[in-house]
Structure 1
Amino acid sequence: MRKLIYAIGVSVDGYINDRDGSIDWTEPDEELHQFHNDRYREIEISLHGRRLYELMAEYWPRVPEDAPPIEREFGGLWTEKPKFVFSRTLTEVQWNSTLVSENAVEQVRGLKAGGDGAMEVGGAGLAAALMPYGLIDEYQLFVSPVILGGGTPLFPPLDKRIQLRLAETRHFDTAVMLRYLAG
């Protein structure tokens, strides 16, 4: 069965974006960017919510030629990676993507059962929809040294707690990674 990973940048006070929706405070240093590139290379399938897909599609397929090599590398990885985009409002997707309009939970269960590798979920809304069903196996939180005081919270309200086990920590210049396993 495939493992589902939720990897996301978060502020010290638990927000994934600020009150204006900006994530400019998550800018990775070169080591962290390379870590993300290497991590993304190992992912078989990427699951995106609509907002994340639109944000990513705005830049990564069209990385400027004068951008740093590490960004151009990620642009190629993102464009080629098989993606499932969960949206009720989009009518089409591009760049090796499949649009899913209904029943995200059942679709993700089927994708998990369809292999032995790793998938990642991107987008807080999509992750929040999957958490109550125990579908996320690993949480990789990249904690940036900033207090935002508001924005979109990392975790939704839940009816019951999700027990996690700390599996790894790693320090980068611009964030600390906390990797937790569910269960």
Structure 2
Amino acid sequence: MRSLIVTEFMSLDGVIDSPGGGSYPHAGWTFKDVQMDEAAYDIKGREQQEAGAMLIGRVSYDEFAPVWPTMEEFAEYNAMPKYVVSTTLTDPQWHNTTVLRSLDEVAELKQGEGGPILVHGSATLAQGLAAAGLVDRYHLLVFPLLLGGGRRLFATEVADKQRLTLAEHATYRNGVQLAVYDVLR
């Protein structure tokens, strides 16, 4: 069975909206508002090396697909299988992309062989996966910012309590904190 890992850039108040750019009022907050520290991004390199697939929602697909294929630093992501959970996407153009129509199909994907499945972006997808009991681990880079509004990783009204255990942590010179949590079942 494969593990499913939700990996996010997150503000201290839980916002994951547009960390690199976009139409959100604070878009680009990861590099505009916090001094760069390469060490904080080591986990991203490890993720690319260890992952067997990437899972994203339709909005994240629409944002990533035109940009990521041209970025050398995402070579491993571009080469690996990508899965988009969408009821409307019919003809994905990003190399090696498959559309999944439901969380049941995600559960089937998890049952297969291969490396971890990384979930990037998509608060809605991450919340749905958590509610369905499909998330095994969270990789969070928590930035020392309070953004106030925007899409959040964790729903404000949670149906069921989730217990987590800290698997790895670090704090970097710029105040960013790495928090890796395993979901306890």
TM-score between the two structures when normalised by the length of structure 2: 0.84
Deviation at 1:131, TM superposition (A): 0.8
Pair 1:34–1:182, CA change in 2 (3 A): closer
1:18-42 Cα offsets, whole Å, 9 max, x none, are 7926541123643334431232121
Aligned equivalents of 1:117 and 1:77: distance in 2?
Answer: 13
Task: Tell me, yes or no, if the aligned pair for 1:139 and 1:181 is still in contact at 8 Å.
Answer: yes
**How many angstroms apart in 2 are the aligned matches of 1:58 and 1:20?**
18
The within-5 A match list for 1:67-146 is 72=72, 74-93=73-92, 94-100=94-100, 102-103=101-102, 105-115=103-113, 117-122=115-120, 123-146=122-145
Report the count of equivalent residues: 172
2:28 paired with 1:20: no
Identify unmatched segments of 5+ residues in structure 2.
none
The alpha-carbon deviation at position 5 of structure 1 amounts to 0.5
* Alignment of 1:165 onto 2:133: no
Could you tell me which amino acid in structure 2 is paired with residue 181 of structure 1?
D
User: Contact 1:3–1:116 at 8 Å: present in 2 too?
Assistant: no
What is the CA–CA distance in structure 2 between the aligned matches of 1:118 and 1:51, rounded to whole Å? 22
1:68 corresponds to: none
**Cα distance, 1:137 vs. partner?**
0.5
1:113-142 deviation per Cα after TM superposition (whole angstroms, max 9, x unaligned): 102531111221111111112110001111
Percent sequence identity over aligned pairs: 33
Match of 1:176 in 2: 177
Note the residue ranges of structure 1 that are not aligned, 5 or more in a row.
64-71
**Which residue identity lines up with residue 20 of structure 1 in the other structure?**
Y
Q: Is the 8 A contact 1:167 1:180 kept in 2?
A: yes
Stretch of structure 1 that moved more, 151-160 or 165-174: 165-174
Which residue does 1:69 correspond to in 2? none
Q: Distance in 1 between matches of 2:40 and 2:86?
A: 29
Structure 1 vs Structure 2 CA RMSD: 2.0
- The answer on whether the counterparts of 2:52 and 2:114 sit within 8 Å (CA) in structure 1 is no
Deviates more, 1:152-161 or 1:41-50: 152-161
Greater fraction helix: 1
